[in-house]
């Protein structure tokens, strides 16, 4: 990806996949992370993002003239490799489990945006908007490998409910917002 006239390695540009995808301990088959110091690994094997936030991002991209009005973002456009519906950051907690028909994933931590997110969205305030709204999505640890399919339903199994994703996100970004 070209950012400020320099080529930057990134795995943020995701595409939907038709058919089943293997889920291993380190993530989805065929998916890659460019910077393993902040993405990937057992606790960050999969990045989930709620589809409910997509209309907001479509609108602000159009307002920033990064996209045409009415242009639809496709699943994966926010860097996630799992677009989900029905589970938001203010509902989910560290330790919650997403049980799919053929695999099981556990919520591990929020995602924190970087300059690559701004570039993928096409405007420099994207990360700031993600922080202001706490619409960060969350990383998942693979508890039981298997397969996933686009659109597949999952069962949300609440864990200990000790630390919420939005709460943890706000706590970690607070020192940087001063």
pLDDT for res 33: 65
The yes or no reply on domain 2-161 and CATH 2.40.33.20 is: yes
- Measure the CA–CA gap between 107 and 95, rounded to whole angstroms: 5
Q: 112: exposed, middle or buried (C-beta count within 10 Å: 0-12, 13-18, 19+)? A: middle
Task: Tell if the pTM clears 0.85, that is, is over it.
Answer: yes
Question: What are 126-162's pLDDT values in tens digits?
Answer: 999 999 999 999 999 999 999 999 999 999 999 999 9
**What is the three-class DSSP state of 166?**
helix
Q: Which of 123, 130, 129, 104 is nearest to 49 (CA)?
A: 130
- The two tokens of residue 43 are 């606790």
Tokens 């420099």 correspond to 124
- Measure the CA–CA gap between 150 and 163, rounded to whole angstroms: 28
Q: Report domain extents, the chain.
A: 2-161
């Amino acid at each position: 990806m070209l950012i400020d006239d320099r080529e930057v390695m990134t795995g943020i540009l995701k595409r939907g996949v038709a058919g089943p995808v293997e889920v291993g301990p380190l993530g989805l088959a065929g998916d890659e992370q460019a910077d393993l110091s902040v993405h990937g690994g057992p606790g960050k094997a999969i990045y989930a993002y709620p589809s409910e936030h997509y209309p907001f991002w479509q609108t602000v991209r159009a307002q920033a003239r990064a996209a045409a009005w009415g242009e639809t973002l496709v699943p994966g456009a926010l860097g996630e490799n799992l677009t989900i519906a029905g589970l938001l950051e203010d509902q989910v907690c560290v330790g919650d489990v997403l049980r799919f028909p053929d695999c099981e994933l556990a919520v591990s931590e929020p995602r924190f945006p970087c300059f690559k997110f701004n570039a993928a969205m096409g405007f420099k305030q994207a990360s700031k908007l993600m922080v202001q709204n706490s619409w960060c999505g969350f990383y998942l640890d693979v508890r039981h490998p298997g397969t996933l399919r686009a659109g597949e339903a999952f069962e949300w199994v609440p864990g200990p409910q000790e630390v919420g994703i939005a709460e943890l996100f706000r706590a970690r970004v607070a020192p940087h917002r001063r």
